[in-house]
Amino acid sequence: TSPVWSSSNQISAYSSGIAGTSFSTPLVAGLLTLARSHQPQAGSGQLIAALTEHTNRLTIPVNQARSNTLGFGRANASALLQRVTSIPLPFMRYAYNPVSVGDYLGRYDLSKPFYAYSCETNRPGTTPVYRLSKGTDIFYTISEVERYQAIAKGYTVQLFANLCLNLPTDQPQLIRSLSIPREFENRDPDK
């Protein structure tokens, strides 16, 4: 991380050529490309989640998905590789549904089969799940594109939770599927 430019600090490491997004973007792109080579069936959101869920969190508290100064933390290539090459066998996962990947309002994102789930202990979720509502029309999405499209169409947006995303090779023994409308809002999603 680098100091933020201000009137009292007019020199920032972002302009030194060794820090900031222009330095980190090729490194992150390389890590995601490496992850894609091990998980070719995974969607881009799943790969980004695998990277951001397995960072060195530095000083970011466990109950906080990200920090405005540190983002999700420092990329950890070893942890990412371990995540995409090994098959975790958790006994049970709590998956939340229905969650759109950009297909509720239209085809905004390429969708792959996935589930959003409660992360393991001491692993914060980094994928925001948004609740979008307009009158009686309510849906949930992880798609940033769909979120902005919904705002443009007059929907109200609330953050529901920050969750983890599975990879296609994950094999939990049990998946307890939690209906967000029924179990968290006490409403029938079909009405």
CB-CB contact of 32 with 75 (8 Å): no
pLDDT in tens, 53-81: 999 988 888 888 888 888 888 899 999 99
Strands lying side by side in the sheet with 116-117: 137-141, 127-134, 156-165, 116-117, 92-97, 174-179
Q: Going by C-beta distance under 8 Å and a sequence separation of 6 or more, which residues neighbour residue 67?
A: 59, 60, 73
pLDDT of residue 170: 87
pLDDT of residue 28: 92
Q: Is 86 exposed, middle or buried (0-12, 13-18, 19+ CB in 10 A)?
A: exposed
pLDDT of residue 49: 92
pLDDT of residue 98: 86
Taking Cα atoms as reference points, which of 120, 128, 150 lies closest to residue 138?
Answer: 150
Rg (CA), the chain: 18
pLDDT of residue 161: 93
Counting as low any pLDDT under 50, the low residues of the chain are 15-17, 108-111
